[in-house]
Structure formats: structure tokens, C-alpha cells
């Protein structure tokens, strides 16, 4: 998906972040090359690993609460998957008919099919005891070759599929709750940023800095600049600090401009007598501005016109 221009940013953004950047040529769709592939003759028991399943062996969940899917949103997700790969695998369970029924991720599955993807990355659940799944996921987390997004997804699975609180989960994996929370926050990042973290283009430290802003478009832009310029975490923090200072300066200027001289207030007071709706007046520090009059009927305008004509204005 193409990045949208960040909203509500000052004119100094370009000077701080540089010209528009394009690092898409550095991005390749994530894959699960070394994972086991499920086929009609090659089944797998419940596992915390991601496996790839032929799309024609996957079927929707008949109890899916969502009955309709927004076409435009699906197309946007499909575009992201086409460019970045399916970052968050779906979860399925083995059906009696030999197929795999979706537990969660039907929207991701539909979007993946729109791209023509034939093998779908998935977690497989069976009818085994809950404790077995918990043990499998915890064991998976202890591996050293997991990327940060895989760790975050494993934490999320423990919460959602094993009904654990963050406190309980932290105890299971031997981590502090704050560490668990920080990993889970990574899943709130835009798909592009998650992708770059997953494949090692940025670090967890970079991701934490990027999480310091709320606008997804700006998060993507900060990530792009980091990859393009090879910024360290401290350099990225400095850019973010300069952005924050620029926003504060702009806010200060706006507030200063918002203090209207007495004559402006008198104008609003006089004209406001003839209109029920609010009248707004904006003025810059240099004295330029605009006044907006909202009226609720033709009669209001006619009455105001009569006042002007009677006063020979």
C-alpha cells in the first residue's frame, strides 16, 4: 500500500526527514521457506511453528460472525500482501473431512487468495489438550532464531488461544510483563514497518521510537527514512525530537495568532446579533485572515441586508 501524506504536520517536515523516500525496492515479500508444507499425504500435528497449507485445503469457518467483508479494504490488504507477504499467518484446525477450517484470519485468507497465493502460511490447531498447545508455544518462544514479530505473534497466541493474561503469560515465558507488553505493541505498527522489523531492515529499538508517534503515515515515513539513510536509534530519536519541537513551535504561533485584537471581537459581536449560527474569524500574526458567516435561513440574510441598507453601508 502506498503511504498517505502524514496529516497535521508542519512545513519543516521535509527539511527534517528529507525528500520523499522510496525503499520499496529493498522490500521483498516475507516467506516461510524452511517451514513444513502440509499436503494431502503430509499432515502435521498441532505446532507453534508456521506451516504452509494449499489454499484449496482451507475452508471458512461456518460460525464466522462477520458475514460481509469490505471490498475496498480487502483490495488494500491484498496489495499489502502482494508487496510484503502475509506477515501474520492465519490459524486453522483440522476438520473431519481432511481439510483445514479457519479459526482466525478469514479476512487475511480472502485477501491472500485475491493475490493468487496458492500456499497459505498458518498455525495448525488440533483437538489436543489446551496445555499441550501452551507448552508448544512457550517452547517455540524460547528459540533463538525467532524474529521480533514472530515473538510478538507467539505472545498474542498465548493470550488469545490459551486464555492467559499478560501477567500469566510473562510468568510462563520467564519475561517481565513490561517486556511482553512492548513486544505486543509491535503488532500495532503498520504492515510495512512490521515487515522491515521482521526481515531485519530496522531493529526493535527503531520500532520503539517509531511507536512514539500515532500517525501511521508518519510511522511509515520514519521507517523509510531509517532504512534509506541507515539511521541509528539515536539518530532517529533526534529526528523525532526535532519534529516534536517543530510542532510545538507551530502550536505556539497558532495560539499567538488566535489572540484577536479588540476591534475584531467587536466586529464579531455586532454581526453576531443578526445570525443564529456561529461566526468564525481567523487571523494570522501578520494581520491576514478570513471571516466565515453561517446562516440558517434566507430570512436571516434578508434581515442583515436591511440593516446594512438602513445604515447606508
pLDDT at 76: 92
In the chain, which residue ranges form alpha helices assigned H by DSSP? 13-17, 71-84, 106-114, 130-141, 148-161, 166-173, 177-185, 191-198, 204-210, 216-229, 233-257, 262-271, 298-310
Is 46 part of the annotated catalytic residue set?
no
Cα gap 199→182, rounded to integer Å: 19
pLDDT at 162: 84
| Residue 191 cell numbers, joined | 504492515
Q: What is the tens place of the pLDDT at every residue in 91-141?
A: 888 888 888 988 888 899 999 999 999 999 998 887 566 777 787 788 778
Q: Grid coordinates in use for 175?
A: 519475561
pLDDT of residue 281: 78
CA 165 to chain centre: 23
Give the model's pLDDT for residue 2: 44
Q: How far apart are CA 209 and CA 218, in angstroms?
A: 12
Q: What are phi and psi of 51, to 5 degrees?
A: -120, 165
Instruction: Judge whether residue 3 has pLDDT over 50.
Output: no
pLDDT band at 142; cut points 50, 70, 90: confident
- Angstrom distances, CA of residue 188 to CA of 44, 130, 178, 245: 31, 27, 16, 25
The 8 Å CB, 24+ separation contacts for 5-13 are: 5/217, 6/215, 6/217, 6/218, 6/221, 7/215, 7/217, 8/215, 9/218, 9/243, 9/247, 10/246, 10/247, 10/249, 10/250, 12/246, 13/243, 13/246
Question: How long, in residues, is the chain?
Answer: 313
Give the mean pLDDT of the chain. Answer: 81
For 5-18, the three-class secondary structure string (H helix, E strand, C coil) is CCCCCCCCHHHHHC
For 197-252, write each residue's pLDDT tens digit: 999 999 999 999 999 998 999 999 999 999 999 999 999 999 888 887 765 555 55
**pTM of the entire predicted model:** 0.67
- Catalytic entry in 46, 59, 76, 106: 106
9's grid cell: 504536520
- Distance (Å, whole) CA 241 – CA 191: 24
Does residue 120 sit in helix, strand or coil? Answer: strand
Cα(37)–Cα(119) distance, rounded to whole angstroms? 8
Q: Is the pLDDT of residue 4 over 60?
A: no
Q: Is the pLDDT of residue 50 over 50?
A: yes
Amino acid at each position: 500500500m502506498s503511504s498517505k501524506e502524514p496529516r497535521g504536520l508542519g512545513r519543516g517536515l521535509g527539511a527534517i526527514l528529507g525528500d520523499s523516500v522510496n525503499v520499496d525496492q529493498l522490500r521483498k515479500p516475507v516467506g516461510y521457506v524452511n517451514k513444513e508444507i502440509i499436503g494431502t499425504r503430509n499432515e502435521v500435528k498441532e505446532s507453534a511453528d508456521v506451516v504452509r497449507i494449499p489454499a484449496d485445503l482451507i475452508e471458512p469457518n461456518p460460525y464466522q460472525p462477520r458475514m460481509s467483508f469490505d471490498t475496498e479494504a480487502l483490495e488494500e490488504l491484498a496489495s499489502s500482501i502482494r508487496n510484503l507477504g502475509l506477515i501474520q499467518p492465519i490459524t486453522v484446525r483440522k476438520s473431519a473431512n481432511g481439510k483445514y477450517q479457519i479459526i482466525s484470519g478469514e479476512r487475511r485468507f480472502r485477501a491472500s487468495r485475491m493475490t493468487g497465493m496458492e500456499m497459505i502460511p498458518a498455525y495448525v490447531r488440533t483437538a489436543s489438550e489446551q496445555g499441550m498447545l501452551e507448552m508448544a508455544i512457550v517452547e517455540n518462544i524460547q528459540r533463538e532464531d525467532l524474529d521480533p514479530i514472530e515473538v510478538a505473534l507467539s505472545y498474542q497466541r498465548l493470550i488469545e488461544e490459551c486464555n492467559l493474561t499478560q501477567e500469566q503469560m510473562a510468568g510462563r515465558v520467564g519475561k517481565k510483563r513490561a517486556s511482553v507488553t512492548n513486544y505486543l505493541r509491535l503488532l500495532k505498527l503498520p504492515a510495512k514497518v512490521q515487515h522491515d522489523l521482521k526481515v531485519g531492515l530496522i531493529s526493535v529499538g527503531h520500532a520503539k521510537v517509531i511507536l512514539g508517534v500515532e500517525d501511521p503515515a508518519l510511522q511509515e515515513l520514519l521507517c523509510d527514512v531509517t532504512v534509506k539513510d541507515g539511521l541509528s536509534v539515536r539518530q532517529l530519536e533526534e529526528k523525532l525530537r526535532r519534529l516534536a519541537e517543530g510542532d510545538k513551535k507551530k502550536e505556539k504561533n497558532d495560539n499567538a495568532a488566535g489572540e484577536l485584537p479588540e476591534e475584531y471581537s467587536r466586529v464579531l459581536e455586532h454581526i453576531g446579533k443578526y445570525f443564529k449560527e456561529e461566526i468564525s474569524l481567523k487571523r494570522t500574526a501578520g494581520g491576514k485572515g478570513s471571516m466565515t458567516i453561517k446562516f440558517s435561513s434566507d430570512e436571516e440574510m434578508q434581515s442583515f441586508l436591511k440593516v446594512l441598507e438602513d445604515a447606508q453601508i
